[in-house]
Amino acid sequence: MPHWYNGQLRILQTVLRETDIIDYDARSVVAYMKKAHANVLVVNAGGIVDFFHNDVEPVHFNPFMREEQEILSDLCDVLHAEGMKIICRVDFRGVQKYRYEARPDWFARRSDGSPKQNHQGLYVPCYMSYYANEHAAHFIRRLMTRFPLDGIWENSVAFGAGMCYCPRCRESYRAEHGTEIPAEEEAASPSFAAYRAWRKARADEHIRFLRAAVKEFGEDKAYVAEVFGMYHAQASLDSGIDTYTAEHFDFIVGVGFLTGAPHGRPYDELPYAASATRFLKAIDPKKTTVLLTGNNGTKWRLVKDPALKTRMWMWEAVAVGANLWNCLFNGMHPDATYDRRNAYIESDVYGYLEKNQALIQGQVPVREVAILFSKPTRDMFGHDDEEKDRYGVGIRGLETVLNDAHIPYGFITERDLSPEALADVRVLCLPNCACLSDGEVTVIRDYVRGGGSLLASHMTALYDENGKIRPDFALADVLGLSSTGMVKDTSQDCYQMIRQKDHPLLDGMGAERTRFFINGGETLLTAPDGAGEVVATYVPIIPNQYPEQAWIRDEDTRFPTVYGHGHGAGRVVYFANNMEAMVYRNGHEDFWHLVHNALRWLSGGRWMLECDAPDTTHVHLLKDRDRPGSFLVSCVNHLAGMGRTVHPAAACTVTLRLAAMSGATVKTLYGEDGSEAAIINQSVADGYLTLQIAIPEFCEFFSVYVGAE
């Protein structure tokens, strides 16, 4: 029996500040939600500061809460009267000094026995502490007994969850490992896998414990908690809580703000909203997927985020099947806060979701190309600072090519890698996917032998899942070459020499008119087995300075940078450098074309979706997870997001190649000014329906549903 949280969720969260309770008016919140087409409110209950008349000691009331005021009661009444749901935000990240002093044994300890405080001066608990468990469960039970809530949002579950030396942690670690918890400096090192596994297990236990407290009130009470995105390597290493933790939640929620960009950048790339959603879909495609974002952002919380970019951010997420969560950090609602300029900008995105939920809610990305997300590789080679990141940037570069070329793709996590998961995948991509287990290697080898295609680069399969280096690629037979172990810095003044100018991997690159292509990053020197095709090779550094001596005697090496190979019934392309990452970091078109040509060559034919739109129009293909013959084509105009005014996307033609269908109809779900998509042509041959759809000019977003006739 499906519960409400298995359906569509259009969430408004108001993270209230203490002063926001003054003159709080539940009716005006609901009025905003109705106009914005929201159906769930997430609002503060308590933890650090209580927004209700809590009697679970140690309490800390909001000093502005009046005696007769009970906003949660008011909200439950008006929301439920409108058929809307209410989830309460609880936050057990820490307490004020006086509360700590009343119960010092409920909290975390440093190795010298002193209490742990966070940057905000709060005294923090650990995953095993009484405060975060028994107390938190008691608090939640009391809350849910008092008010007819529909669920609990555990905020900041991973905050300040660094090392702890409280008696409970010490005993648990000793019982499991027979040794003491390592010193703080040591445990930060990657070699402490055992410690991190222990901590992750405690984090999971804690999550399960609080979930159980919520579920005492019925299966239809939702439990969700805050986890960060796929690239947040440090948050995961520090806390043991990762996006995978979302499997314990009733719906899959991931944090993805436009202003949640990687270290050192104000705004993220717009496609990341879709990328994050694709990743969440891979965690559990059966559950509702929600991207937690916000009109007013998360960095400069008192002013709006760039308005047009914010809309494009939402459209990108929605285009690949996300539901949305609009999180506001001050004020009663987006039209009653400091900066109201972005109030209601989500209304037509939410309205689109609401109106079309029957057709779009079960849609998941079509995965002709699958990117393997390897958490062990992310933990070892990923970094929050893109300059130091050696994993996430490769995924981002690969996605740039996939988005630019309108190729249908999605993620597979290493936990789900299996012959079944790969059944419909035409090209599996392993961008510098260094850490692979023997089991994963076997699945990949069988997949290629059976006719699957593989794109791999740089250190792929050179380490095991625990980060231990292997003597050679575990996939050496599949890749058709061996590692020499030598890595060259090719970030400056480096090139790739063309060896086979007519090879399809160099299509359209003008190979007949150049000796070299650009190189970048690092290049691993490898020894090919002789059965494959060396398409380009590593060239030693040719310094630019001084110009008269900018030449070397021997440009010729035997080390491939681009290597094509057959294995069993499958095809393989191996890049010895960080080719995909260079698409993102460097942006030179040689990198782009080499990756794109590899994908094309590996596909062995045409994609399920092809489109003549330029790369500024992103075209996403989704299919219904439950209903065969049911698809969604969503277009997002990135020209619009480049400036402060919208520049329309030109009309284009989408061609779909659909198996086991004899005819189709289309229905425009979102366009501009009543413009509609139309079928230009459809024909059946070799068991495939070829369907040509004309997409008219549009401004931000266009969406068309395709159904079997």
Q: Is 169 in the site for Zn ion (CB under 5 A)?
A: yes
- Of 294, 228, 250, give the one whose Cα is nearest residue 15: 294
Q: Is 320 in the site for Zn ion (CB under 5 A)?
A: no
Identify the residue whose tokens are 């993220």: 268
Instruction: Give 166 or 237: the residue with its C-beta nearer to Zn ion.
Output: 166
Instruction: Give 164 or 635: the residue with its C-beta nearer to Zn ion.
Output: 164
Q: Is 166 in the site for Zn ion (CB under 5 A)?
A: yes
Beta strands in 557-624 (DSSP E): 560-567, 570-575, 609-611, 617-624
Residue 468 is classified by DSSP as P
Q: How far is the CB of 202 from Zn ion (least distance, A)?
A: 8
Stretch that binds Zn ion, among 90-98, 169-177, 457-465, 478-486 (CB under 5 A): 169-177
Q: How far is the CB of 109 from Zn ion (least distance, A)?
A: 6
Stretch that binds Zn ion, among 120-128, 250-258, 430-438, 655-663 (CB under 5 A): 120-128
To 5 degrees, how large is the angle CA 22–CA 24–CA 28? Answer: 150
Which listed residue (11, 30, 38, 164) binds Zn ion by CB under 5 A?
164
Stretch that binds Zn ion, among 27-35, 46-54, 118-126, 394-402 (CB under 5 A): 118-126
Stretch that binds Zn ion, among 160-168, 242-250, 290-298, 676-684 (CB under 5 A): 160-168
Q: Is 181 in the site for Zn ion (CB under 5 A)?
A: no
Instruction: Give 166 or 598: the residue with its C-beta nearer to Zn ion.
Output: 166
Instruction: Give 113 or 674: the residue with its C-beta nearer to Zn ion.
Output: 113
Q: How far is the CB of 224 from Zn ion (least distance, A)?
A: 24
Instruction: Give 164 or 562: the residue with its C-beta nearer to Zn ion.
Output: 164
Q: How far is the CB of 46 from Zn ion (least distance, A)?
A: 22
Helix (H) or strand (E) holding 351: helix 347-355
Q: How far is the CB of 107 from Zn ion (least distance, A)?
A: 8
Instruction: Give 162 or 351: the residue with its C-beta nearer to Zn ion.
Output: 162
Burial 39-56 (b: 16+ CB within 10 A, else e): bbbbbbbbbbbbbbebee
Residue 124 is classified by DSSP as P
Question: How many residues at the interface with Zn ion, by CB under 5 A?
Answer: 5
Instruction: Give 166 or 290: the residue with its C-beta nearer to Zn ion.
Output: 166
d(CA 322, CA 308): 19
Instruction: Give 115 or 648: the residue with its C-beta nearer to Zn ion.
Output: 115
d(CA 157, CA 132): 9
To 5 degrees, how large is the angle CA 296–CA 395–CA 10? Answer: 35
* Residues 121-150 within binding reach of Zn ion (CB under 5 A): 126, 128
d(CA 631, CA 705): 6
Q: How far is the CB of 236 from Zn ion (least distance, A)?
A: 19
Beta strands in 182-334 (DSSP E): 222-225, 252-255, 289-293, 323-328
Chain centroid offset of residue 71 CA: 34
Give me the residues paired with residue 489 across strands.
522
- Of 475, 488, 465, give the one whose Cα is nearest residue 563: 475
Q: How far is the CB of 112 from Zn ion (least distance, A)?
A: 14
What phi, psi does 433 have (nearest 5°)?
-85, 80
Q: Is 360 in the site for Zn ion (CB under 5 A)?
A: no
Helix (H) or strand (E) holding 195: helix 193-215
Instruction: Give 199 or 304: the residue with its C-beta nearer to Zn ion.
Output: 199
The binding site for Zn ion (CB under 5 A) comprises 126, 128, 164, 166, 169
